[in-house]
Amino acid sequence: MMISNRSEDLFSILPMLFSDESDLGLDHVQLQHLVNGYKQLQKAKLLTRQTTNQALSILDFVMRGLVRRGEDGQEARKMTPSEIDLGQRLLELAFQLGVQTNSLIDCLLKTTPVVSSTRTLTSRLSASQTSLGVLFLTTYKQPIMDQLVKHGQDTVYELSDRVREDRGTIGMIIYGLLEHAVGNREIRKRYGMAIYSAVLTQWETLSNLGQEDDFMLNLMKKVLQIDFKFATDPTHLAFCPVFNQYLSMLRDPKKPLAWKTQVLDVLYFFANVPEKEEKELKSALDLLVANHFPLKSTDLDAGSPRYNDYIMALNKVK
């Protein structure tokens, strides 16, 4: 089915793009070509009127196209691959037209409950609940992260200012941002240091997100992957909060040795700290040994989980 000539104005058909109705006469392949045409016009600077409003309209329609009204509120729509591809292209156009970082974050922090149904291996329907913002992020993670990473510093500062709104989602975005930067060499080279600097500047705020310790440990690993020089420089503003948090992870009496072996993965980044900090680090490691290591390795059954954790940790502190 083809789009009629009168419907070639993209903005006039936005409300219909993700409708569940089957007789709208919309061909997603042709729609993708239409969106690409708009992108070329914008690139050539031929779209000059109200581009910001148009960008926000696209953003809103793509996000709201993920849900439909059900009996008990908003339900996640089952999106076809062609619909998701169209949504990605529309988002790229919106970002090209000009979407402010705070407007995109507003969408990602939408707390509207959304019910999602999936079929289990036994063919039973299983319902779970998420938020509209998280559904938006997980469905269109690639274009959203591509956009946020370009404005990484603003993104981190904006999220840090809004930590009380939705700590879980903010933690997810921050970690996703670092993961996106670390995972792509070109992105890392171009935007990595700006994100890295912003995360370190906001470290104390981010450490109060109320996330699991795994979150801060993984955040630490990602930051150190980008640049670890600060980890040996006590004069760096971020050194004390990061180093002290690392020490607290090693000392935590409630954490099992299996978890602390993951903490020991980044020990070598702090191997060349000055003498004062070296003593603190050695003290924390001594406490770890006292709390978790047996007096003799023969006290543990060879091959048991505790024995394996012990051997793994021992190899990392040697």
| 25 domain-assigned | no
Please state the separation of Cα 267 from the chain's center in Å.
Answer: 25
| 223 domain-assigned | yes
At position 167, the amino acid (one-letter code) is R
Is the pTM higher than 0.85? The answer reads no
- Domain boundary residue, one of 212, 227, 242: 227
Same domain, 271 and 232: yes
pLDDT in 10s for each residue of the chain, 318 residues: 333 444 567 777 777 777 665 445 566 677 777 777 777 767 666 666 667 788 898 999 999 999 988 777 889 988 888 889 989 999 998 998 889 999 999 999 999 999 876 655 544 555 688 999 999 999 999 999 999 999 999 999 999 999 888 888 999 999 999 999 988 889 989 999 999 999 999 999 988 876 677 889 999 999 998 999 999 999 999 999 999 999 999 999 999 999 999 999 999 999 899 999 999 999 999 999 999 998 888 888 888 999 999 999 999 887
For residue 99 the two structure tokens come to 């979407």
Same domain, 188 and 249: no
- Domain boundary residue, one of 227, 250, 284: 227
Same domain, 215 and 258: no
CB 162 within 8 A of CB 107: no
| Count: domains in the chain | 2
The domain containing residue 207 runs over which residues? 151-227
Pairwise CA distance, residues 77 & 134, whole Å = 14
| 56 domain-assigned | no
Closest CA to 66 of 20, 125, 25, 101: 20
Same domain, 249 and 301: yes
| 298 domain-assigned | yes
CB 172 within 8 A of CB 210: no
Mapping DSSP onto H, E and C, the string for 285-318 reads HHHHHHHHCCCCHHHCCCCCHHHHHHHHHHHHHC
Same domain, 172 and 237: no
- Domain boundary residue, one of 201, 227, 253: 227
Same domain, 244 and 316: yes
